[in-house]
Amino acid sequence: MEMSRYRNLFLAETREHLHTMNQLVDGLEREPERDETINALFREAHSIKGMAAAMQFTQTAAVAHHLEHYLGEIRSCSRVPPDVRGRLLDGIDLLEGLLDDIVSGRPERNVEKFLQKTATCSGQSGQDMAIVTNVDCTAQNSASQEPADSILSSASAGDHSEEFQVIIDLVNAPKSANPGLKILQRLEEMGEILSSEAVVDSIRQGGEPRQVKLWLRSGIAPDKLKSKLLTIEGIGRVGFAQDRRKKPGDDQIATVRVSTDRLDNLLSIVGELLTNHYLLQTAAESENWTEIPAQLILMDRLVENLRHEVIQARMVPFQTITGRLPKAIRDISRKSGKNVTLNLIGEDLGVDRVVLEQLGDSLLHLVRNAVDHGIVSQGTLTIEARREKEQILIEVSDDGRGMSPEQIKKTAIAQGLLAANQAGKLSDREALMLICQPGFSTAQGVTETSGRGVGMDVVKSSVERLGGTLAVSSALDRGTRVQMSVPLSTAIVKVLLVACARQRLAIPITRVVRTFALPSAMINRREEPHVFVHEGRTVPLYSLAELLSLARTENTKKALIVLAEVQGGLVGLQVDSLIGQREVFVKPLHFPLDKLPGLSGVTVEGAGIIFVLEPQSLVENRLMLADKAGWKPESSTF
């Protein structure tokens, strides 16, 4: 049987089982439900074992079998060992780590020590149980020599090692120097060499490659790795490539389950569209022009229905990414010695799977920040998802110590992110947003779980890449709330099409407040950027052509303005012409296009290509360049 066809299905279903197990482990503390909880956990472990064994993921099957047996023992001896939760959670962690190995294409990690370490309530060791099973655990053991301690730690929330490709160019070294072997030894001292057996074997057998490319997992910074490698004789150059491989979790929601009712609806709409197409064709052939407008209206409705159904089919429940949070919070709380109550609201809300994929890490980072820096010794962390029109709002709030805008300003000045004279002009809301500046940190020190890794700047970038916005509000001693507002769907987006320097561009309609023609005399061009007054508010005006380095628009008697919402404020974007609203299928940008500020995607229309803009990062990029150039707009909205 060709197993690779079923790999994604296996990964999706196993993650669902692990998600359920994580939730069930919480229920172990509730006495009346304990027996049923243990039975349910047993069934979940049994399902994972069966699927893993069928897929020949032997280590995964062995751990699942171990957990199943462990739960069976508890059930039969009707005595719950004191550390059952911890042991089950360690096992679930390990299974999640094994799934990550499978996603990354690595050999499954060695689980022998976990099996030995975890004894059952009857005192039987896990290793004994592994022998009882038909699952062959020995085949993969030689492929990975990772000790159990590192297995468990790598699955924990505090693991910060990264994977990257190391590229080492060898120069003509004397044979006695044997740089290849020395490179391997040095790399093995500094991390774990991943999935490059052919290269490793070739070097070990005396090969003399001119270049060595290896994947390495290490917690050591690349520049330190480089300096250590360069001490080996025969190395000419050392380079690193970012890990652009599939990451663990990428496959987490690569599949969605669609109900047969929905599929029937889709089929029914497609059927109606075929009829509609036939009637339009007939009307055109027989020149029955009066029939066409009615059929076009019908087609419009059918296409809208189709869009709705397809978007719904892409939706997965919000709990797909919140499922791991209770355990993550338990881990962080345990490490920081805090007592945190988690309050999840809106877990059943359907969210576009792409949105969830993008926001998973950000949500975890916000949670870590809240527990680590917000909540003092005990408190409540609330995560809420709700729908507002075409947007999904995700809020992470805590009732902890909160943040002081004044203190943030001082920190930003001390960290060289803000000039003292600029700080005085910032409102409290603007000051709070400084935490999203790259390099900003209020942490007194780096803890195991936060204060490093992805920062608020990365969270903000992730939200903006989706065409969303991030807002922060906080009050001292009352808590902090971070609100992420993202589009309902990232694939099909309503946009306003505009033209600038003979190029068509799209602005997500969720960012457009209104459009209008503004008499040029109303624009104050003495300020930089130019400003105009709209409903009593002074609004900065940017030429879209200028923001995008396109040919600048000639001044005319009236300027066409797109009033856009940027970080809760307003900006005017001057364009050459307004084409109209449209629904477009947006494709993500790939490297290196994804490095360009202000572009969130692209849509292919006929023979042409239309870029979808992200006004917020466009304007921020302009402000950043202005800062670098030594001037700060007097009338920035943020």
Partner 1 sequence: MTWVLLFQLDDLTYGIKVESVQEIVEKPEQYPLPGAKGCLRSVINFHGEVLAVINLPKLCRCKASHLDPRLIVLTDEFHSLAVQVNSVGSVVEIDIDRVASPGPGSGPPVLGTCQHDDEGDIHLFDMGSVIRQLEKLDLGVDGG
Residues making contact with partner 1 (CB under 8 A)? 167, 169-172, 210-211, 213, 236, 239-242, 244-245, 500, 503, 505, 546-550, 552, 587, 589-593, 595-599, 602, 604, 607-609, 611, 613, 618, 621-622, 625-626, 629
C-beta of 485 vs 543, nearer to partner 1: 543
**Closest approach of Cβ 333 to partner 1, in Å?**
37
What is d(CA 278, CA 291) in angstroms, rounded to the nearest whole number?
12
The H or E element containing residue 397 is strand 391-398
C-beta of 500 vs 584, nearer to partner 1: 500
Q: Which residues of 388-397 are buried (b: 16+ CB within 10 A; e: fewer)?
A: eeebbbbbbb
* Residue 356 contacts residue 394 (beta carbons within 8 Å): no
C-beta of 413 vs 550, nearer to partner 1: 550
**CA 108, chain centre distance (Å):** 24
**Closest approach of Cβ 618 to partner 1, in Å?**
7
C-beta of 337 vs 608, nearer to partner 1: 608
**Closest approach of Cβ 486 to partner 1, in Å?**
23
* Residue 377 contacts residue 339 (beta carbons within 8 Å): yes
**Closest approach of Cβ 233 to partner 1, in Å?**
15
Closest CA to 626 of 406, 422, 415: 422
C-beta of 86 vs 209, nearer to partner 1: 209
C-beta of 521 vs 629, nearer to partner 1: 629
Beta-carbon contacts of 568 under 8 Å, excluding residues fewer than 6 positions away, are 429, 469, 471, 638
**Closest approach of Cβ 167 to partner 1, in Å?**
6
C-beta of 329 vs 548, nearer to partner 1: 548
Is the backbone of residue 282 left (phi > 0), alpha (psi -120 to 50) or beta? alpha
**Closest approach of Cβ 34 to partner 1, in Å?**
48
C-beta of 61 vs 170, nearer to partner 1: 170
Task: State the residue for tokens 């004789």.
Answer: 233
C-beta of 91 vs 179, nearer to partner 1: 179
Torsion of the alpha carbons at 493, 496, 497 and 499, rounded to the nearest 10: -140
C-beta of 198 vs 629, nearer to partner 1: 629
**Closest approach of Cβ 101 to partner 1, in Å?**
18
Angle between helices 260-285 and 291-314 (to 10 degrees): 160
What is d(CA 632, CA 629) in angstroms, rounded to the nearest whole number?
9
**Closest approach of Cβ 489 to partner 1, in Å?**
20
C-beta of 278 vs 585, nearer to partner 1: 585
As given in the structure block, the two tokens for residue 289 are 């022009």
**Closest approach of Cβ 583 to partner 1, in Å?**
18
As given in the structure block, the two tokens for residue 608 are 């042409």
Task: State the greatest distance between any 2 C-alpha atoms of the chain, in Å, as a whole number.
Answer: 89
Phi then psi dihedrals of residue 203, to 5 deg: -65, -45
**Closest approach of Cβ 247 to partner 1, in Å?**
12
C-beta of 211 vs 268, nearer to partner 1: 211
Measured between alpha carbons, how far apart are the two ends of the chain, in Å?
A: 59
Q: What are 471's strand-pairing partners?
A: 483
**Closest approach of Cβ 607 to partner 1, in Å?**
7
Torsion of the alpha carbons at 283, 286, 288 and 294, rounded to the nearest 10: 0
* Residue 396 contacts residue 482 (beta carbons within 8 Å): yes
C-beta of 180 vs 374, nearer to partner 1: 180
What is d(CA 401, CA 508) in angstroms, rounded to the nearest whole number?
36
Helix (H, G, I), strand (E, B) or coil at 378: strand
**Closest approach of Cβ 598 to partner 1, in Å?**
6
C-beta of 30 vs 590, nearer to partner 1: 590
Helix (H, G, I), strand (E, B) or coil at 563: strand
C-beta of 167 vs 254, nearer to partner 1: 167
C-alpha distances in Å from residue 186, one per residue of 172, 192, 232: 19, 11, 9
**Closest approach of Cβ 619 to partner 1, in Å?**
11
Task: State the residue for tokens 């009033």.
Answer: 563
Residue type, 583: E
Residue type, 110: N
**Closest approach of Cβ 197 to partner 1, in Å?**
16
Q: Is 537 exposed, middle or buried (0-12, 13-18, 19+ CB in 10 A)?
A: exposed
* Residue 589 contacts residue 599 (beta carbons within 8 Å): yes
C-alpha distances in Å from residue 572, one per residue of 279, 559, 564, 631: 45, 10, 6, 20
**Closest approach of Cβ 216 to partner 1, in Å?**
15
C-alpha distances in Å from residue 563, one per residue of 8, 569, 572: 44, 10, 5
As given in the structure block, the two tokens for residue 176 are 């006695």
